[in-house]
Amino acid sequence: NPLARARYLTSVHQLRQLPPDAGREVAFAGRSNAGKSSALNALAGQGGLARVSKTPGRTQALNYFALGEGRCLVDLPGYGYAKVPEAMREAWGRVIDGYFRQRRSLVGLVVVMDVRHPLRDYDRQMLDYAAARGLPAHCLLTKADKLGRGEQAKVLAAVRRELGDAASAQLFSAETKLGVPEARDVLLRWLEL
């Protein structure tokens, strides 16, 4: 698993702090508490890689994890946390907007969503950013272990129907590791690893 080579590289608060725009990177987006850190940890097979957030909305940086050979995973700041002040939300919007517009090494977007609350407002906005650039997007419907098999299948079918050609989607669980190999395949393909 080449993702096991992931090592924390840097945290970016402003666009001018971004590492050189070379190589290939995949960005992870998701609402605060959706399970994004846990998904990153499960994919890298490393418990402590991305901090599993205890304070939602606190981590406002883009966190870079290097895989070697110019490949990176980028943990985007979580969104949708109600208590984040308006000014901070605006700053977040500017950074994310600029990142999607200018980042040439960005080759794909993973949107992590709680299987029980898929495709909320900001999730759709992230997918719109990807679509605007013609960037491939893949949705992880995580915490699938919280639903029975029948419910899981129903949500997956509904999400896939709604996404159409805009993005692919799969069930995922950091808890049971459901869907980990499938998600890794997507990342390795995008990263050409």
Tokens for 162, please give them. Answer: 């709604």
Applying CB under 6 A, does 170 fall inside the site for ligand GDP?
Answer: no
Closest CB to ligand GDP among residues 88, 193 = 88
CB atoms within 10 A of CB 61: 16
Closest CB to ligand GDP among residues 175, 182 = 175
Applying CB under 6 A, does 174 fall inside the site for ligand GDP?
Answer: yes
Applying CB under 6 A, does 80 fall inside the site for ligand GDP?
Answer: no
- State the nearest-atom distance from the C-beta of 70 to ligand GDP, in Å: 25
Query: Which residues, at least 6 apart from 45, have a Cβ–Cβ distance to it below 8 Å?
Result: 1, 3, 4
> Applying CB under 6 A, which of residues 38, 63, 152, 170 lies at the interface with ligand GDP?
38
- State the nearest-atom distance from the C-beta of 172 to ligand GDP, in Å: 7
Closest CB to ligand GDP among residues 133, 172 = 172
24-30 and 62-68 as β-strands: parallel, antiparallel, unpaired? unpaired
If you count them, how many residues does the chain have? 193
- State the nearest-atom distance from the C-beta of 127 to ligand GDP, in Å: 17
Name the residue among 162, 97, 81, 154 with its Cα closest to residue 130: 97
3-state secondary structure at position 54:
coil
> Applying CB under 6 A, which of residues 8, 15, 23, 33 lies at the interface with ligand GDP?
33
Bridge partners, 108 (sequence order): 26
- State the nearest-atom distance from the C-beta of 165 to ligand GDP, in Å: 26
Applying CB under 6 A, does 44 fall inside the site for ligand GDP?
Answer: no
> Applying CB under 6 A, which of residues 25, 27, 30, 65 lies at the interface with ligand GDP?
30
Q: How far is CA 162 from CA 130, 138, 169, 186, in A?
A: 16, 13, 10, 20
> Applying CB under 6 A, which of residues 10, 53, 60, 125 lies at the interface with ligand GDP?
53
Strands (E), 5-144: 7-12, 24-30, 62-68, 71-75, 106-114, 137-142
Interface positions with ligand GDP (CB under 6 A): 30, 32-38, 52-53, 56, 78, 142-143, 145-146, 173-175
